[in-house]
Amino acid sequence: MLRTIWLFTFVSLVVGLSAQTGNSPYSRLGIGDLVSNEFSHLRSLGGLSAAYSSPFQTNILNPASLGHLSTTSFEIGFDTRSSKYTFGNESQSFWDGGLTHMSLAFPIFNPLNRLLDRKKTDFNWGMSISLLPHSRVIHATEVSDVVPSVGEVTRQYEGSGGTNKISWGNGFKYKQLYFGLNVGYLFGTISNERAVLFEDLILQFHDYMADDHSYRGFFWNGGVQYVFDLSQGKALEDERQIKSLTIGLHGNSRWSYKTVSEQFSALKSSVWGGLSDDIPDEETDTIFYADDIQNKGKMPSEFGIGITYQRGTKFLMGLNYRTSGWSNYENNVDVGSFDNSWQFSLGGEFVPDADSYRFYHRRIRYRVGLQFGTDPRVIEGEDQIKDLSINLGFGLPIILSRQLSFINLGVEYGQHGGQIPIKENFFRLHVGVSLNNNLWFYKRKFN
């Protein structure tokens, strides 16, 4: 399994670094487009993060779910998205994609050891290490207007980069109570360029500005789940008859971070063609330059609550609500205004027969989900972006060396709309691979 993990790690880094294309105009606000950290199987369920758990697959958003793990799980995911932006009667299409997550999670106590030792315990402990994108910035925008006594003025904006985070999670089980904690580190750099071109002036000088902001900070989030057993003793006869209801909570308070910035502004000569000009301009008059500019900020608090009902391996359904306090977001180097955001999700999973040997399609996990809510960014100081997405997905079970693994496929159609000038409709394809192995920390016995 280790060889397979290293292969997937190498491929993920290559794909993640090479697939950053596209254009998202609102990513110039704040720290960019926030990236959902729901793994592929959760995204297909619409984002049931608070109360979802699995012995085979990881839910990093609520670390309490790590207490359910019964096997080591290496998970990696990718996505690709086609977006169509409309502004009035005009429209334009782009695509982007890349790495969505990479995670290794495992139970500290191997259940096979307990089975061989004939030990039954009410305690379990799961751990995870994850690398996740937190936000993405990729935009190129040009706006032209006519200024009296000046003439036509073109303003250009370009940006790239984003933030990422590495997370270490621990989840514990005691009887029917599960609780956990994630701690991690945020890092990344966002680069922005701006140009103002005076098209009609003679012997004019154009304005050019560039800045790089590096983000660093420690974060945390905690969670709890409680499982109500509704089986009425049937679980002792057949695990497929297990009925349970899970209530989950997760969240975090505001947390601090630092930025280190480099800023540059200059006047460019009349021969300069703007940000898309690949020819170096030697006639540059530097106006301002500074590096190692340090600032502080605070990320918002977050809270989520959810409930899921599960019947063995056959059926699962749930509801989820999550809110973030972006009105208290602090950043001295960002542009834009923000307000509290929220998301409501509902989803379900159906498996015709998880133990079927004759018909593979009966072992597939069929998933559906719906999510709607608001984005924290406020456009033109008045209108908040509205989000809506519909999800369909499939969990394809794969038997590798007598180990149950999964390939999770999902499709998502959504829109970012509301009373905003530029609207987006998108179609996303996401793929997640879960490689499982129950032999880690296994103590071999000899008679």
Average pLDDT, the chain: 87
Q: Over 60: is that where the pLDDT of 72 sits?
A: yes
Residue 199: its pLDDT value, please?
81
pTM over 0.85: yes
Average pLDDT in the 199-205 region? 79
- CB 423, CB 407: distance < 8 Å: no
- Tokens 């596209």, residue located: 22
Question: How much is the average pLDDT of 207-224?
Answer: 95
Judge whether 447 lies within some domain.
Answer: no
- Give the pLDDT of residue 296: 93
Condensed to tens digits (0 to 9), the pLDDT of residues 291-325 reads 999 999 999 999 999 999 999 889 999 999 999 99
| Contact between 81 and 124 (Cβ < 8 Å) | no
Evaluate whether 414 touches 379 at the Cβ level (below 8 Å): no
Distances (CA, A) of 66 to 52, 193, 279, 413: 10, 42, 53, 30
* 330 has pLDDT over 80: yes
pLDDT at 51 over 90: yes
Question: How many whole angstroms separate alpha carbon 400 and alpha carbon 406?
Answer: 10
Highest mean pLDDT among 8-17, 75-84, 400-409: 75-84
Higher pLDDT, 90 or 7: 90
Residue 19: which pLDDT band, with cuts at 50, 70 and 90? very low
On the question of pLDDT at 119 being above 70, the answer is no
Q: Is the pLDDT of residue 173 over 80?
A: yes
Instruction: Judge whether 446 lies within some domain.
Output: no
Confidence of residue 84 (pLDDT cuts 50, 70, 90): very high
> pLDDT of 344-387, one tens digit each?
999 999 999 988 888 999 999 999 999 999 999 998 767 899 99
More confident residue, 4 or 300: 300
The more confident residue out of 71 and 400 is: 71
Q: Token pair of 129, please?
A: 């290490």
Above pLDDT 70, what percent of the chain? 88
Q: Supply the pLDDT for residue 21.
A: 60
Residue 201: what pLDDT?
Answer: 78
pLDDT at residue 2, rounded to an integer: 43
Q: How many domains does the chain have?
A: 1
Note down the domain range covering 213: 2-437
The reply to whether 192 falls in a domain is: yes
CATH code at 258? Answer: 2.40.160
Ramachandran bin of 429, using left for φ above 0, alpha for ψ from -120 to 50, beta for the remaining angles: beta
Kindly give, in sequence order, each residue whose CB lies less than 8 Å from that of residue 252, ignoring residues fewer than 6 positions away: 219, 220, 221, 222, 301, 302
Q: What is the pLDDT of residue 17?
A: 38
Best CA proximity match to 40, nearest among 80, 95, 96: 80
Instruction: Tell me the mean pLDDT in the region 180-193.
Output: 96
pLDDT confidence band for 438 (50 / 70 / 90): confident
Q: What is the structure's pLDDT at 113? A: 59
Q: Predicted confidence band at 343 (pLDDT cuts at 50, 70, 90)?
A: very high
Domain membership of residue 375 (yes or no) is yes
pLDDT value of position 118: 65
- pLDDT for res 203: 73
